[in-house]
Amino acid sequence: MSKALIVVESPTKVRTIQKYVGKQYAVAATVGHIRDLPERDLGIDIADGFKPLYQTIAGKQKVISELKKAASGTTDIYLAPDPDREGEAIAWHVAEVLKAKDRRFHRVLFHELTQGAIKEAMAHPLPLNRPKYEAQQARRILDRIVGYQVSPLLWRKVKAGLSAGRVQSVAVRIICEREKAIQAFDPEEYWSITAHLHAPGPPPFAARLIRHNGKKIKVADGQAAQAIVAALAGETFSVVKVQKKRITRQPLPPFTTSKLQQEAIRKLRFSARHCMSVAQQLYEGVELGPGEPVGLITYMRTDSTRIAAEAAAEAQALIRERYGDRFALDKPRFFKNRNKAQDAHEAIRPTTVANTPEKVARFLSKDQMALYKLIWERFVASQMAPALIDQNLVVIRAGAFEFNASGSTVHFPGFMSVYLSADDEKDIDAKQPQEALPELAENMALKLEKLDPKQHFTQPPPRFSEASLVKELEENGIGRPSTYAAILSTIRDKGYVEMLKGYFRPSELGLLVNDLLVANFPDIFDVDFTARLEENLDRVETAETEAPALLGTFYERFQGNLGQAMEKMLSMRGVGLATGIACPRCQKGEIHLKVAKNGPYAACDRYPDCRFTANYSRDEKGAILLAETPPEKASDKLCPACGLPMVIKEGRYGPFLSCSGYPKCKNTQSLEAPPTVQAPTGVGCPRPECKGQIVEKRSKRGKTFYGCNRYPDCDFAMWDKPVNQTCPKCNAAFVVEKTTKREGVLRVCQQPGCNYRKAVNRDE
């Protein structure tokens, strides 16, 4: 009888798991998903209860063949993809592909890749989790419906290649609305007045004006500030109240996915995507010696703050040994979760606190070490005694005016001796007192050194950083932590937002597309609606609601929005968005904002009678600023249509020749540079009806590509370099050359279903 088969998701786990389960099991990997909806079609039979039409992912035929070979003769198959919704979907698809008579499938969840956890999971296998699979499938269907039906609408109305997404478009909306709030913000002037004082004993300290005649004071301008300074001249400053209290500061729970991303962004300057990539490496295993791969952290996609009792007890033992009994707790500290759907996994923690950062440092890369240290310290701190902070608040009177002074010192650092969050580091320094006050007592006279009036202005809401956007998405229930990194990457890759000094700012394209989507899909891209939909998907996972009902309710509303949008959505290719700005050339038309292949531009609505176009920008209030039109330049050419001199003008696509007799003569000519020499590759055009040759070309932006020399009669083009070599596997006429950082130069066959891939020397 063949060995029982364990199927995992990532090939990097195979070696770690094989080591712990022994030779009685075979271990194989799916390398991610093996089946999905088709790339070019909707792939959902809406009429048949939103039935998904799955197909094998291109390039995965070999993986499936190897899985079938490994499963041959096997009765028991243990499905061990990642313990989340995506992993559950992979498990179901593998079971579908490998199903056979009398074959049994078991679901095993490896929350950490350690010997104990793997053996425990194998000893207690579970049935496949249908509600979790249906929740993943419902989310995939929702995303497909929105993306594949709204995106083509944007292609027709705005620009080819754009995309809309059920969650990504809401993230763009959040960024756009913050930008509009910044533009609408009017700063308000105010002044502060600080008294620099001396008590009988050191140190000197500062107190800020708070009240006048017992009421909170607002100093509106410099004149009012100077009047107060004059009124305080000669007044005696004395202490009227001293309030001392000791507060207890509790540690934060161990990391969830979103909190790990936020902290790694702020403290380590990682991107959300890089954070998750490094966390995946720590979870899947690092060699701590020859042939000893060890998973260093628990599963890194989780919304849970729950931890195992054994892990908490181990942390307590380490704390007592390393820091002393004062820093330990009488009993472990546990944290509550918000809802049942988020309690599938533990929080992110070290698989064992015995693997201290200093112990594993030499086996980790710089980034792995930084992230592991963050996770280890946060978890250990979560099981430590609270910090005790002494706070002093002092009220000082000078005539009818009252000033406040405050200071704090750390009485006992507790958990802060191990870990301070990014917010803690801003609020308090565990080693140095903050604004320490001298010993003060009621009725104590104070000496005024000086009064310091300062002008301030209220500040607009800040733009989102990666960390604050992740926090905003989490707090609003948009998406799930496992998707945040992909969302942040997608909205940048699509050109909807850009980074300005580490903060998201919507691009002009992002602002225009967002306005169109919000106007035409008021519900689908609404923050609250999207959050409720996420909650309902969680309810599918906990079997509290049925996926078909959820999909039907959503689709009914979406279909109504889509039908209206197809008729009424403004065309940014044609009419464009009216601005109310008069055309500076003809003075009769109105400037409209439009979108072309190269992006947004401004144009007169009287086209073709007036051909005025210009680039534009926005000022700090969002008002449209037309770019100055370059003056016309004389040329040495005559118009072939009417004989008048031609002039050089600047258009959206660069300079061009135009007849000086415009608008009576509308003749124009291109001024494009002559094409560069086309280098032959020796490969014939693969289109059967074409007898051309593939040549190396250069795009307008200077990027090399390869296309047919019979263009425009044949428009075949590709980015990868073709090599005049027959594929040894499928006999395709040629292969292509690719270069990757990890594998170097490769020759690859592009024929569907052929997996030929060979590394070559650069001089081959």
pLDDT (tens digit per residue) in 654-673: 678 888 887 678 788 877 65
Residue 58 binned pLDDT confidence (cut-offs 50, 70, 90):
confident
State the Cα–Cα distance between residues 409 and 422, nearest whole angstrom: 19
Give the per-residue pLDDT at 336.
Answer: 80
pTM: 0.79
Do residues 342 and 303 lie in contact, with contact meaning Cβ atoms separated by under 8 Å?
yes
Give 452's DSSP letter: E
Give Cα separations from 292 to 125, 296, 362, 539, 570 (angstroms). Answer: 25, 12, 14, 41, 61
Whether residue 520 sits in one domain with residue 416:
no
Mean per-residue pLDDT over the chain, rounded: 89
Is position 398 within any domain? yes
Whether residue 206 sits in one domain with residue 164:
no
- Quick one: how far is CA 573 from the chain centroid? 30
Whether residue 374 sits in one domain with residue 488:
no
CA nearest neighbour of 82 among 28, 25, 10, 4: 10
Whether residue 348 sits in one domain with residue 286:
yes
Is position 478 within any domain? no
Q: Which of 78, 299, 323, 484 is catalytic?
A: 299
Six-digit token pair at 764?
Answer: 């081959």
State the Cα–Cα distance between residues 201 and 436, nearest whole angstrom: 12
Give the per-residue pLDDT at 168.
Answer: 93
Amino acid at 168: Q
Number of domains, the chain: 6
Q: Which of 512, 543, 568 is the last residue of a domain?
A: 568
Whether residue 582 sits in one domain with residue 685:
no
Task: Write out pLDDT tens, residues 174-217.
Answer: 999 999 999 999 999 999 999 999 999 899 999 999 999 999 99
Do residues 406 and 440 lie in contact, with contact meaning Cβ atoms separated by under 8 Å?
no
Give the per-residue pLDDT at 426.
Answer: 66
Given phi > 0 = left and psi -120 to 50 = alpha, else beta, which region is 399? left
Amino acid at 499: M
State the Cα–Cα distance between residues 382 and 478, nearest whole angstrom: 27
CA nearest neighbour of 283 among 456, 435, 425, 482: 482
CA nearest neighbour of 722 among 705, 730, 734: 734
Whether residue 749 sits in one domain with residue 733:
yes
Whether the per-residue pLDDT at 83 is higher than 90: the answer is: no
Of 29-33, 72-76, 82-86, 381-385, highest mean pLDDT:
381-385
Whether the per-residue pLDDT at 473 is higher than 50: the answer is: yes
Do residues 415 and 389 lie in contact, with contact meaning Cβ atoms separated by under 8 Å?
no
3-state secondary structure 466-513: HHHHHHHHHHCCCCCHHHHHHHHHHHHHCCCEEEECCEEEECHHHHHH
User: Could you tell me what percent of the chain has a pLDDT over 90?
Assistant: 61
Residue 380 binned pLDDT confidence (cut-offs 50, 70, 90):
very high
Is position 470 within any domain? no
Cβ contacts of 569 within 8 Å, gap of 6 or more: 153, 157, 516, 519, 520
Whether residue 347 sits in one domain with residue 428:
no
Do residues 131 and 541 lie in contact, with contact meaning Cβ atoms separated by under 8 Å?
yes
Is position 473 within any domain? no
Of all helices (H) and strands (E), which one includes residue 408?
strand 401-412
Do residues 490 and 166 lie in contact, with contact meaning Cβ atoms separated by under 8 Å?
no
Do residues 729 and 751 lie in contact, with contact meaning Cβ atoms separated by under 8 Å?
no
Of all helices (H) and strands (E), which one includes residue 388?
strand 387-398
Give 621's DSSP letter: T
**Computed from CA positions of residues 403, 409, 415, 420, in that sequence, does the dihedral angle turn out positive or negative?**
positive
Q: Which of 568, 593, 610 is the last residue of a domain?
A: 568
Whether residue 115 sits in one domain with residue 46:
yes
Report, as an integer, the average pLDDT of 58-62.
90
CA nearest neighbour of 7 among 138, 141, 105: 105
Task: Write out pLDDT tens, residues 308-351.
Answer: 889 999 999 999 999 999 999 999 999 887 655 445 678 999 99
Cβ contacts of 120 within 8 Å, gap of 6 or more: none
State the Cα–Cα distance between residues 444 and 438, nearest whole angstrom: 12
State the Cα–Cα distance between residues 676 and 717, nearest whole angstrom: 16
Six-digit token pair at 478?
Answer: 């948009």
Do residues 133 and 52 lie in contact, with contact meaning Cβ atoms separated by under 8 Å?
no
Do residues 710 and 725 lie in contact, with contact meaning Cβ atoms separated by under 8 Å?
no
Which stretches of 495-647 are DSSP H helices? Answer: 508-520, 527-541, 547-568
Whether the per-residue pLDDT at 432 is higher than 80: the answer is: no
Is position 133 within any domain? no
Burial state string for 264-291 with b = 16 or more CB within 10 A and e = fewer than 16: bbbbbebebebbbebbbbbbbbbeeeee
Report, as an integer, the average pLDDT of 458-479.
93
> In CATH, what number is assigned to the domain containing residue 31?
3.40.50.140
3-state secondary structure 270-330: CCHHHHHHHHHHHHHCEECCCCCEECCECCCCCCCCCCCHHHHHHHHHHHHHHCCHHHCCC
State the Cα–Cα distance between residues 261 and 270, nearest whole angstrom: 8
Whether residue 160 sits in one domain with residue 177:
yes
State the Cα–Cα distance between residues 392 and 405, nearest whole angstrom: 8
Amino acid at 259: K
Residue 435 binned pLDDT confidence (cut-offs 50, 70, 90):
low
State the Cα–Cα distance between residues 60 and 529, nearest whole angstrom: 37
Give the per-residue pLDDT at 429.
Answer: 47
Of all helices (H) and strands (E), which one includes residue 190?
strand 189-198
Give the per-residue pLDDT at 430.
Answer: 41
CA nearest neighbour of 367 among 275, 302, 298: 275
Whether the per-residue pLDDT at 472 is higher than 80: the answer is: yes
Is position 500 within any domain? yes
Do residues 238 and 397 lie in contact, with contact meaning Cβ atoms separated by under 8 Å?
yes
Domain that holds residue 422: 189-250+387-457
Six-digit token pair at 475?
Answer: 């707090």
Please report where in the chains the tokens 């909306």 appear, as a residue: 173
Is position 477 within any domain? no
Six-digit token pair at 361?
Answer: 């440092």
Of all helices (H) and strands (E), which one includes residue 648?
strand 645-651
Give Cα separations from 524 to 405, 714, 722 (angstroms). Answer: 50, 42, 44
> In CATH, what number is assigned to the domain containing residue 324?
1.10.290.10
Residue 508 binned pLDDT confidence (cut-offs 50, 70, 90):
very high
Is position 471 within any domain? no
Give 127's DSSP letter: -
Whether residue 19 sits in one domain with residue 118:
yes
**Computed from CA positions of residues 169, 173, 175, 180, in that sequence, does the dihedral angle turn out positive or negative?**
positive
Whether residue 660 sits in one domain with residue 554:
no
Give Cα separations from 414 to 266, 430, 577 (angstroms). Answer: 23, 10, 60
CA nearest neighbour of 744 among 723, 762, 722, 730: 762
Whether residue 326 sits in one domain with residue 408:
no
Of all helices (H) and strands (E), which one includes residue 89?
helix 85-98
Amino acid at 537: L
Task: Write out pLDDT tens, residues 603-634.
Answer: 999 988 898 888 999 999 999 999 887 677 78
Do residues 468 and 236 lie in contact, with contact meaning Cβ atoms separated by under 8 Å?
no
CA nearest neighbour of 267 among 432, 466, 416: 466
State the Cα–Cα distance between residues 256 and 267, nearest whole angstrom: 16
299 labelled catalytic: yes
519 three-class SS: helix
State the Cα–Cα distance between residues 255 and 346, nearest whole angstrom: 10
| 374: phi then psi, degrees, rounded to nearest 5 | -60, -45
Q: Which of 325, 359, 382 is the last residue of a domain?
A: 382
CA nearest neighbour of 684 among 709, 703, 705: 709
